[in-house]
Amino acid sequence: MSLDDPMHRVQAHDGQALWRSEFDAAKKRAANFTTLSGGALEPLYGPDAIADLDHERDLSYPGQFPYTRGVHPTMYRGRLWTMRQFAGFGSAKQTNERFKFLLAHGQTGLSTAFDFPTLMGYDSDHEYAIGEVGQVGVAISSLEDMETLMSGIPMGEVSTSMTINGPAPILLAFYIACGENQGVDPKLLRGTVQNDILKEFQAQHAWLVPPEPALRMITDVMGYCSERVPQWNTISISGYHIREAGSTAAQELAFTLANGMEYVKRGLAAGLDIDDFAPRLSFFFDSHLDFFEEIAKFRAARRIWARKMRDVFGAKDPRSWMVRFHTQTAGVSLTAQQPENNIVRVAFQALAAVLGGTQSLHTNSMDETLALPTEKAVKIALRTQQIIAEEIEVAHVADPLGGSYFVEALTNKLEAEAERYFAEIDRRGGVVPCIDSGYIQREIHRSAIAYQAAVERGSKKVVGVNCYTEHDKGPTIDILRIDASVEREQHERLAALRKRRDNARCKRELDAIRDACRSKDNLLERFVAAAHAYCTLGEISDVLRAEFGVYKEPKIL
């Protein structure tokens, strides 16, 4: 019997009706059958669910517009994803040792976590830094600290990601200057600076100056790097923090891409050519617990961005159309209760990222609800990626879930939800007005509250927290501790630096930055010069705060 045979069609139709009647009559578990984001799910997806899907228009092939199936023709047959564990704690010397440990165990790229004073543009000896130096990341107050951080690491060969936003241009200047002192041409430097200030105002909250001057510094970075540091990813447009702050998958997708489009508009307004800077925009997403929803989210992100860049913004270079992205597993999904279970959560989340076609991946360590990870916990997290890459045979076929009725339907649904948010953001005047009014922050907060309520009601199950609980004996695993001597020694180093350097030259460089703030001169160029003079992060940031003002968050609660 051929597929066109009328009998076949009758049987198929009967099969569907029969399944439906059997399904309806059967007893079902009392559970919430929704996505993690709360969207209703059908019990089965079939051809009807994707009747409108057009293969050429909506899927195409890996490496081809709209990149739903991946950005490379070969995907992981060409090259595995970069295994990039986020690391940083204590002093630059301690983090330098952790970097070398990770490289020795097969990690292929570096990723730097900074402490809060650094993230907020304060030196380690500022009053606001008391108790915070080196706690959640490494303390970098000057080029000298950066030189220690990268000591013995060939900067022309490794790629380095730096998770910093408000003062991102200053830390990038330290990195460029450090490379120059190592004898490395900036043209050879590879890496990423997060530099995504819009999501800071929306979710992560480490800012330096208000949105408008912050956006000007970002276009300065894009302009400077497109000429002089051409292999550098100038922004990592990040959904991760939006999701961790409580958003749904659709909100993560929508707000991240809306931010991305805002950066594109700013670059164009600054007179840059879209195909000069758009290929250096990269993305960073969360991989949360809902396996299929996450895979659909990654696929939808690629398709939406490609369409916007080609059809709305008129980019001509295919590299401008591509979403290349880093993924981190969901920190917020880890539990302090029965922490070893986190290894399993992380493995599933990492698998979703790989099946979704990520370019690089950080797997969280089991102990991160308690403190920064120990070496042992980090190694298990890295090994988790290696097992996915080497043992379970999932990296051989591009977009292995493409064509799944369910995954395609979810991909379509997420794209449609993102489009609804884009329209709403436009209606409200754009991304910056939506930050000023607190709209985006409130949307995220609303989702966070709904999720917490679902966990407390028990409609969302969390093993070890609201089911399969054990009498709490407290965590039994070792944790990493940051010694208080880090802060003291950092004070001593800064005091010695301020004594030793040419302070008259520092003053001239800081004055030059002040002048550049008042003109249209490229600020990154001034920051690199100031870095070479060993001006500190706090000194440069103080000039920016004085010139541009400080940000005051809108009240949303």
> Looking only at residues 59 through 98 of this chain, which bind other proteins when binding is defined by CB under 8 A?
none
Between 162 and 178, CB nearer to other proteins: 162
| Beta carbons within 10 angstroms of residue 453's beta carbon | 11
Task: Note every long-range contact of 74-79, with CB atoms under 8 Å and residues 24 or more positions apart, other chains counting.
Answer: 74/398, 75/357, 75/395, 75/398, 75/399, 76/354, 76/389, 76/395, 76/396, 76/398, 77/395, 77/396, 77/398
Which one of 100, 190, 445, 491 is in contact with other proteins (CB under 8 A)? 445
232 vs 451 by CB, closer to other proteins: 451
CB of 378 to other proteins, least distance (A): 17
Question: Of 186, 217, 301, 312, nearest to 252 (Cα)?
Answer: 301
Total residues at interface with other proteins (CB under 8 A): 44
Query: Which residues 6+ apart lie within 8 Å of 141 measured at CB?
Result: 117, 118, 123, 124, 125, 490, 494, 536, 537, 538
Answer yes or no whether residue 289 interacts with other proteins by CB under 8 A.
no
Check residue 141 for interaction with other proteins (CB under 8 A).
no
Task: Select the residue interacting with other proteins from 135, 194, 282, 412 (CB under 8 A).
Answer: 135
In the complex, the smallest distance separating the C-beta of residue 87 from other proteins, rounded to whole angstroms, is: 15
Q: What is the spatial distance between Cα 427 and Cα 406, in angstroms, rounded to a whole number?
A: 32
Q: Which of 152, 154, 271, 474 binds other proteins (CB under 8 A)?
A: 474
Report whether 254 contacts 443 (CB < 8 A).
Answer: no
Residue 243 CA to chain centroid, in angstroms? 10
Q: Tell the smallest beta-carbon distance from residue 463 to other proteins (Å).
A: 11
From 115-123, 289-297, 310-318, 379-387, give the range in contact with other proteins by CB under 8 A.
Answer: 115-123
Among 119, 178, 197, 278, binds other proteins (CB under 8 A): 119
Crossing angle between the packed helical segments 291-307 and 405-427, to the nearest 10 degrees: 60
Instruction: For 448-517, give the DSSP string.
Output: HHHHHHHHHHTSS--BTTTBS--------S------THHHHHHHHHHHHHHHHS-HHHHHHHHHHHHHHH
Closest CA to 536 of 192, 130, 177: 177
**463 touches other proteins (CB under 8 A):** no
Choose, by CB under 8 A, the member of 38, 39, 430, 475 that binds other proteins: 475
Site for other proteins in 24-63 (CB under 8 A): none
Residues 511-550, interacting with other proteins (CB under 8 A): none
Residue of 219, 195, 216 lying closest to 207 (CA atoms): 195
Which of 44-70 are b and which e, b meaning 16 or more Cβ less than 10 Å from the residue's Cβ? Answer: ebeeebbeebeeeebbbbbbbbbbbbb
Of these, 41, 270, 274, 465, which contacts other proteins (CB under 8 A)? Answer: 465
When asked if residue 332 is in the footprint of other proteins (CB under 8 A), the reply is yes
Answer for which of 10, 12, 17, 130 binds other proteins (CB under 8 A) is 130
Closest separation between CB of residue 130 and other proteins, Å? Answer: 6
Taking the complex as a whole, the smallest distance from the CB of residue 332 to other proteins amounts, in Å, to: 8
- Cβ-based nearer residue to other proteins, 14 or 478: 478
Is residue 343 part of the contact set for other proteins (CB under 8 A)? no
Interaction pattern, residues 478-497, with other proteins; x per rule: CB under 8 A: -x-xx---------------
**Residue in 336, 463, 497, 510 binding other proteins, rule: CB under 8 A:** 336
Taking CB under 8 A as the rule, does residue 462 contact other proteins? yes
Q: How far is the CB of 259 from other proteins (least distance, A)?
A: 17
Site for other proteins in 169-228 (CB under 8 A): 200, 204-206
Distance, CA of 106 to CA of 383 (rounded, Å) = 9
- Closer CB to other proteins, 204 or 320, in the complex: 204
Task: Tell the smallest beta-carbon distance from residue 333 to other proteins (Å).
Answer: 11
CB 141 within 8 A of CB 128: no
**Gyration radius of the chain over CA positions:** 24
Which of the ranges 5-13, 53-61, 131-139, 540-548 carries the binding residues for other proteins, by CB under 8 A? Answer: 131-139
Q: Which residue from 62, 167, 246, 267 is in contact with other proteins, where contact means CB under 8 A?
A: 246
Options 29-37, 39-47, 404-412, 477-485: segment touching other proteins (CB under 8 A):
477-485
Q: Which stretch binds other proteins (CB under 8 A): 100-108, 116-124, 171-179, 400-408?
A: 116-124
Q: Assign 13 to helix, strand or coil.
A: helix
Q: Which is nearer to other proteins, 368 or 408 (CB)?
A: 368
Q: Which one among 131, 152, 154, 271 touches other proteins, defined by CB under 8 A? A: 131
Residue 227 CA neighbour count, 13 Å, CB half: 10
Cβ–Cβ under 8 Å, residues 214 and 549 = no
Q: Using the minimum distance from each CB to other proteins, give the nearer residue, 112 or 358.
A: 112
Contact flag: residue 555 with other proteins (CB under 8 A): yes
Considering only residues 366 through 425, tell me which ones interact with other proteins, judged by CB under 8 A: 369-372
CA triple 504-510-516, angle to 5 deg: 140
Edge-to-edge, what's the strand order for the sheet holding 190-193? Answer: 86-87, 110-113, 159-163, 190-193, 232-233
Q: What is the DSSP string of 54-122?
A: -IIIII--TTSTT-TT-SSSSGGGT-PPEE--EE--BSHHHHHHHHHHHHHTT--SEEEEB-HHHHTT-
Candidates 202, 259, 337, 412; binder of other proteins (CB under 8 A) is 337
Q: How far apart are CA 366 and CA 347, in angstroms?
A: 11
Chain residues binding other proteins by CB under 8 A are 116-117, 119-120, 122, 128-132, 135-136, 200, 204-206, 244-246, 332, 335-337, 369-372, 445, 448-449, 452, 455-456, 462, 465, 474-475, 479, 481-482, 553, 555-557
